[in-house]
C-alpha cells in the first residue's frame, strides 16, 4: 500500500490514475467514477481522499398534516417502498385530523470525563461550587451563541465509578445541531479543570444520548379508517396495539419496529443535511433507557380510538455542519417549508410515527411482502442486469410468475430478451 501514501495530497485526477495504474480499477470503472463526480471540487474539500460522488435517490412524501399545517417531505433513501409507506401512513393520519406534537426542551449535552478522582463525592461537591465560573468559561469559548440568546445553561456532576466522574454541560445551541460548538466549549472547560482545579481529564465530547432534546408526536385514529379486506377497523386496531406491545416486550421485535421508524426519520435527516449517525445512536440509546431495548413508539386503544405516540431525541439543525454546504439541502428546506430546528424536530417525529403505522398496518393485515416486494421487484430486475427500458416489462412478467428471487429475475430478463429478439 506504499503507493497510496499521502493519497490526500494528490489531485483528484492523479488519484484515479493511481488506482488504474495499481489495477484497482478497469477503464470502465474509472469512467464511472469520473462520470459520477458531479461536485468534485466541493466534495473534495468535504471528505478526505475523495474519489467520486455516491448519489442516493430523493423523493417526496405527501399527506403530512402536523399541528394543523400541511407539509411536503423530501426523503433521501435507497430502499424501495419507504416513501410510499410514509405517504400511506401520513394519509391515514390526515383523515383523522393529523399529528399533534410537543417539544420538551432543546438542549445539547456534552461530557468532560474526569479520571483518577480520589474521593468522587467530595470532588463533585467542590466542582458544584465552581459551576458559575465554568459556565462562564463555556460561554466565552463560543460567544456568538449568547448573541443568539443561546449558550451554556447548566452543569451537573455524575459519579460513574469510585474514581471516574462525568461533568455534564447542557447548551442551548439555537438553530444548529451544535456538536462542534459544544466540543469547543467542553475543551475550554476541560482546560480550566486541568489547570486550576487539578482534575485529570480523560476526554471531553458531546453526548449523542440527547435526553434534553426530546420531541413527541401523537395521532388518534377512528377505527373505520383502518378497515382492510375482510378485517374490521377495530380488528386491525387491536392487532396494531398488540404488535406495539410485543415491541415493548421483546428486543428482537423492538429492533425491527425501530428500524421501520428510522427508515423514515433517516431519509428526512439525510435530505436536510443532518447527521444521521448522531440521530440513530441517540434513538437506540433512548430505546434502551429502561434497561431493556424497547419500541420507540406505542399504539393503544383508548376511548374508541387507536392512539399512537412516539418520543425521540432529535438534536437536528437547520444551519451548521454540511447544511449550508450541500446545495440540495437549501432546496429541500424550501420544499418542506422548514425554517427552524424545532419545526424539523416535529416533522421527523411525525414521519417516524407515520412510517411505523404504515409498517404495522401492512404487517397485521396483508403482510409486509405484498406492498414491499412489488416495489422491490424493480430493484431485483435492475440487479439482474436489466436496462432501464426493460425494467417495466420484465417486472410485469416476473410478477405473473409469483416468484421473487434473483434467479427468477434473471430468467425473466432472458425470456423477455428472447421474445423481443424473435419479434
Tell me the catalytic residues. 79, 259, 275, 372
Pairwise CA distance, residues 367 & 231, whole Å: 13
Q: What is the DSSP letter of 9?
A: G
Pairwise CA distance, residues 17 & 109, whole Å: 45
The CB-of-200 to ligand NDP minimum distance in angstroms stands at 23
| Residue 169 in contact with ligand NDP, rule: CB under 6 A | no
The CB-of-49 to ligand NDP minimum distance in angstroms stands at 18
| Residue 322 in contact with ligand NDP, rule: CB under 6 A | yes
| Residue 320 in contact with ligand NDP, rule: CB under 6 A | yes
65, 96 Cβ separation under 8 angstroms: no
Q: According to CB under 6 A, which one of 172, 212, 275, 343 is a site residue for ligand NDP?
A: 275
| Residue 185 in contact with ligand NDP, rule: CB under 6 A | no
| Residue 175 in contact with ligand NDP, rule: CB under 6 A | yes
Q: How many residues bind ligand NDP (CB under 6 A)?
A: 22
Measured over the CA atoms of residue 26, residue 28, residue 29 and residue 35, the dihedral's sign is positive
**199 Cβ neighbours under 8 A, 6+ residues apart:** 114, 117, 123, 127, 193
Q: Given the rule CB under 6 A, which of 75-83, 174-182, 369-377, 380-388 is the region that contacts ligand NDP?
A: 174-182
Q: Given the rule CB under 6 A, which of 302-310, 316-324, 374-382, 401-409 is the region that contacts ligand NDP?
A: 316-324
The CB-of-173 to ligand NDP minimum distance in angstroms stands at 6
The CB-of-241 to ligand NDP minimum distance in angstroms stands at 35
The full DSSP string for 376-420 is HHHHHHHHTT--HHHHHHHHHHHHHHT--SHHHHHHHHHHHHHHH
Pairwise CA distance, residues 226 & 224, whole Å: 5
What number of CA atoms fall less than 13 Å from residue 2's CA on the CB side?
0
| Residue 180 in contact with ligand NDP, rule: CB under 6 A | yes
Measured over the CA atoms of residue 270, residue 273, residue 277 and residue 283, the dihedral's sign is negative
Identify which of residues 236 and 341 has a Cβ nearer to ligand NDP in the complex. Answer: 341
Q: According to CB under 6 A, which one of 76, 181, 262, 316 is a site residue for ligand NDP?
A: 181
Interface with ligand NDP in residues 87-116 (CB under 6 A): none
Query: Which contiguous run of DSSP H or E holds residue 267?
Result: helix 251-271
Interface with ligand NDP in residues 126-165 (CB under 6 A): 144-145, 148
Closest CA to 101 of 235, 202, 217, 182: 217
Identify which of residues 123 and 286 has a Cβ nearer to ligand NDP in the complex. Answer: 286
Residues that bind ligand NDP (CB under 6 A): 144-145, 148, 173-181, 183, 206, 208, 275, 278, 317, 319-322
Amino acid at each position: 500500500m506504499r503507493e497510496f501514501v499521502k493519497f490526500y495530497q494528490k489531485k483528484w485526477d492523479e488519484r484515479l490514475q493511481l488506482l488504474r495504474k495499481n489495477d484497482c480499477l478497469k477503464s470502465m470503472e474509472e469512467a464511472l467514477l469520473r462520470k459520477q463526480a458531479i461536485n468534485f471540487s466541493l466534495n473534495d474539500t468535504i471528505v478526505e481522499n475523495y474519489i467520486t460522488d455516491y448519489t442516493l435517490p430523493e423523493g417526496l412524501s405527501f399527506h403530512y398534516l402536523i399541528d394543523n399545517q400541511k407539509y411536503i417531505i423530501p426523503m433521501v433513501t435507497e430502499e424501495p417502498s419507504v416513501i410510499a409507506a410514509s405517504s400511506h401512513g401520513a394519509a391515514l393520519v390526515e383523515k383523522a385530523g393529523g399529528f399533534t406534537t410537543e417539544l420538551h426542551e432543546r438542549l445539547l449535552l456534552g461530557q468532560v470525563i474526569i479520571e483518577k478522582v480520589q474521593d468522587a463525592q467530595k470532588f463533585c461537591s467542590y466542582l458544584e461550587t465552581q459551576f458559575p465560573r465554568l459556565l462562564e468559561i463555556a460561554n466565552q469559548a463560543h460567544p456568538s451563541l449568547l448573541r443568539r440568546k443561546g449558550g451554556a445553561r447548566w452543569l451537573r456532576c455524575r459519579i460513574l465509578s469510585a474514581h471516574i466522574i462525568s461533568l455534564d454541560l447542557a447548551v442551548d445551541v439555537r438553530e444548529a445541531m451544535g456538536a462542534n460548538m459544544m466540543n469547543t466549549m467542553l475543551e475550554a472547560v476541560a482546560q480550566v479543570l486541568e489547570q486550576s482545579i487539578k482534575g485529570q481529564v480523560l476526554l471531553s465530547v458531546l453526548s449523542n444520548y440527547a435526553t434534553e432534546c426530546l420531541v413527541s408526536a401523537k395521532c388518534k385514529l377512528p377505527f373505520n379508517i383502518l378497515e382492510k379486506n375482510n378485517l374490521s377497523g377495530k380488528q386491525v386496531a387491536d392487532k396494531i396495539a398488540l404488535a406495539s406491545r410485543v415491541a415493548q416486550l421483546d428486543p428482537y421485535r423492538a429492533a425491527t419496529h425501530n428500524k421501520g421508524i428510522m427508515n423514515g426519520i433517516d431519509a428526512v435527516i439525510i435530505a436536510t443535511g443532518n447527521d444521521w449517525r448522531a440521530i440513530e445512536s441517540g434513538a437506540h440509546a433512548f430505546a434502551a433507557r429502561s434497561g431493556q431495548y424497547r419500541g420507540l413508539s406505542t399504539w393503544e386503544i383508548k376511548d374508541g380510538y387507536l392512539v399512537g405516540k412516539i418520543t425521540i431525541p432529535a438534536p437536528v439543525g437547520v444551519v451548521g455542519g454540511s447544511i449550508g454546504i450541500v446545495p440540495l439541502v437549501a432546496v429541500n428546506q424550501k420544499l418542506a417549508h422548514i425554517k427552524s430546528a424545532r419545526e424539523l424536530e416535529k416533522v421527523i417525529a411525525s414521519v417516524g410515527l407515520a412510517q411505523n403505522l404504515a409498517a404495522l398496518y401492512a404487517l397485521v393485515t396483508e403482510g409486509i411482502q405484498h406492498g414491499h416486494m412489488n416495489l422491490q421487484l424493480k430493484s431485483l430486475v435492475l440487479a439482474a442486469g436489466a436496462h432501464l427500458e426493460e425494467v417495466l416489462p420484465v417486472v410485469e412478467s416476473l410478477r405473473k410468475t409469483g416468484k421473487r428471487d434473483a434467479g427468477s429475475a434473471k430468467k425473466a430478463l432472458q425470456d423477455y430478451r428472447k421474445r423481443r429478439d424473435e419479434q
